[in-house]
Amino acid sequence: MTQTPNKTKKTPKACQVLIAEDDPFISKLYEKKFALEGFKTLIAMDGKSAIKLAMTFKPDIIFLDIMMPKVSGLQALKTLKRIPQCQNIPVFIITNSALIEEAKKAKKLGAIDFIVKTNITPQELVEKTLNVICSSCQLKKRCPQKQKKK
C-alpha cells in the first residue's frame, strides 16, 4: 500500500484516486498516468488495504480489481458501500474477467461501471474518471481538467 503525492501539480486540492490492483505493473501504469493528468493517487495491493485507504483518505473515486488477495474487489465494494463515509464514493470495477454475472453482481453492489482492463487504455480510464468526478458539484473546483485549461 503506497501513497503517491502528485508531483506534476502544485495544488494541494487535486482530485484523489484510489487504485486497488494487485498486479504491480498495472498499478504502476495507472498510477503514473493519473499523476501525469494531475490526480493524487493511492495504491492498494489488496482489498483489505483498499478499504483501509478509502476510510482514511476518502478518495474522490475508487477503482477495484476483482481478483485480489485478502479481500476480493467485490467484497471490498460491498464493505465500502456499508461504511457511511465511503458509501457515496463512485467505484469502478476493473478486471480481466468479462463474465456477465460478475458485471451484474458488481453493479448490484453499487459499482458505477464494470471495465475489462484489456478493453480500455489508461487514457480512456482517466477520461471516464473525469466524466464522473468533474460532473460532481463538490469537485468542480478541484478537477484536474479544469485546472489545465487555466
Express each pLDDT in 123-137 by its tens digit.
888 888 887 876 553
pLDDT in tens, 68-81: 999 998 999 999 99
CATH number at residue 22: 3.40.50.2300
| Spatial separation of the C-alpha atoms in residues 73 and 46, rounded to whole Å | 8
Residue 13 pLDDT: 54
- pLDDT score at 64: 94
Instruction: State the average pLDDT over residues 31-52.
Output: 92
The Cα angle at residue 124 between residues 123 and 127, in degrees rounded to 5: 90
Q: Region 16-45: what's the mean pLDDT?
A: 92
The mean predicted confidence, pLDDT, of the chain is: 81
How many domains does the chain contain in total? 1
- Is the per-residue pLDDT at 5 higher than 50? no
Q: Which domain holds residue 144?
A: 2-149
Q: What is the pLDDT of residues 86-114, one digit of tens each?
A: 999 999 988 887 677 888 888 899 999 88
User: Cα–Cα distance between 133 and 139 in angstroms, integer?
Assistant: 6
Would you state the pLDDT for residue 9?
37
Cell 467485490 maps to which residue?
Answer: 74
Please report the DSSP string for 18-73 in residue order: EEE-S-HHHHHHHHHHHHHTT-EEEEESSHHHHHHHHHHH--SEEEEESS-SSS-H
- Determine the residue type at 127: E
